[in-house]
Amino acid sequence: MKIIHIISGYLGQGGAERLVVDLAEAQAQLGHSVTIACLYPTNERSLQVPSVVKVHSFGKTKGVNVKLPFAIKKYINDENPDVVNCHLPALFLYMIPSLLRCKCKFFYTIHSNPIQEEPRLWVRIIRKFFISTNKLKFVGITDKNKNDFEELYGVNGKLEVIYNGRKSLGKTLIFDDVKTEIDQYKTDSNTKVFIAVGRLFEPKNYPLMLKSFAELTSENIVLLILGFGDKNQFKDITPTNVHFLGAKNNVCDYLLCADAFCMSSSYEGMPISIIEAMSAGLPVLSTNVGGIPDIVEDGVNGLLCKTQEISDYVTMIKKYLSLTQVDTKKMSEINKATFAEKYDISITAKRYLQLYQETK
């Protein structure tokens, strides 16, 4: 099967981009011809793409490009793929000429809350037209994602659900250096290490996390935040027990050195970072938003914050600190087992391939 994944952007460090790279690699390893096509050229912050996957860039620059939709259509016609899988909402309008004129199968993965993913009513009307003609098949990443999409668009049974996946994480060659680095942030061997992973932008709601940890400076804990962005925007609210480490290519090493994973997002789809944390066996402590309760069961493999209030987030952290070693070990084992059973990228890849083949 010849597959093209088209994504708006440049393959940056976001969760959707990470999924696309992993998914393309897994599908290629199953014997398919796979290309990732990006609107923008890749750069030094782009994810590394394995050699088994081809990469194409349309060379877009900032601003409106009226020729781009037709360049995409020509590219698809020239390549003549069996399947085009689209990702991220900024791409949709550029795909309209291709949807109207190209003969391959089209799929569109919705990576976040459907309303926030596409707030424009007129664009949703166009989408609904393509749904009604069966020219475009949408894919959701959580059950909530599916329910919200079908309610918003007034359609039933039109969204398939395929959970996000990730490659199983392992130590890199610099794991020991990372362990030494993290030990420097600890007060002693009993210090609990919390880790958060994600870009430093508004939807991740880092002020909630920072202000909560400011209430916990008397505890023997430290929070390490990994992600691209300007940490100076938080300089006035960052307590002494929190450290920004920047973006890392070896996130797995940091996860494997931590005790628990934290998230404070105001909305989410199905975070790749949580799936990575599960692979590493970390209990997940998070706000109860989006598709997170589909993968984190409160008190079973992690803890969920009742509201997005500082007091509740602090309560959640304190509840984790009160757990016994037996409790946290059980959470760790459940997350590792659940990852292997449901969220390994090989499972996700096979589900997409099955959908491609079954869709007429």
Tens digit of pLDDT for each residue in 84-110?
999 999 999 999 999 999 999 999 999
Query: Do 76 and 156 fall into the same domain?
Result: yes
With both helix axes pointing from N to C terminus, report the angle between 310-322 and 206-214 in degrees, rounded to the nearest 10.
Answer: 60
Same domain, 224 and 235: yes
Confidence check: pLDDT of 45 > 80: no
**How far apart (Å, rounded) are the C-alpha atoms in residues 319 and 1?**
49
Residue 229 belongs to domain with CATH number: 3.40.50.2000
Which of the four pLDDT bands, split at 50, 70 and 90, describes residue 230? very high
Range of the domain at 231: 175-342
Residues 18 and 162 in one domain: yes
Contact 101, 70 (CB under 8 A): no
Q: Mean pLDDT over residues 200-221, rounded?
A: 96
Q: Which contacts of 270-273 are long-range, i.e. CB under 8 A and separated by 24 or more positions?
A: 270/111, 270/141, 270/142, 270/145, 270/163, 270/164, 270/294, 270/295, 271/15, 271/198, 272/15, 272/16, 272/18, 272/19, 272/164, 272/166, 273/15, 273/197, 273/198
| Residues 307, 354 share a domain | no
Q: What is the mean pLDDT of residues 167-187?
A: 94
For residues 72 and 104, state if they share a domain: yes
Structurally, how many domains does the chain consist of? Answer: 2
Listed in sequence order, the DSSP H helices in 107-168 are 114-117, 121-132, 143-153
Q: What is the pLDDT of residues 17-40, one digit of tens each?
A: 999 999 999 999 999 999 999 999
> Do 113 and 101 lie in a common domain?
yes
**DSSP-assigned beta bridge partners for residue 56:** 37
* 254-298 pLDDT per residue, tens: 999 999 999 999 988 889 999 999 999 999 999 999 889 989 999
CB atoms within 10 A of CB 233: 14
User: What is the pTM (predicted TM-score) of this model?
Assistant: 0.88
Instruction: Tell me if 24 sits within 8 A of 1, measured CB to CB.
Output: no
Question: Are residues 112 and 203 part of one domain?
Answer: no
Q: What are phi and psi of 61, to 5 degrees?
A: -115, 175
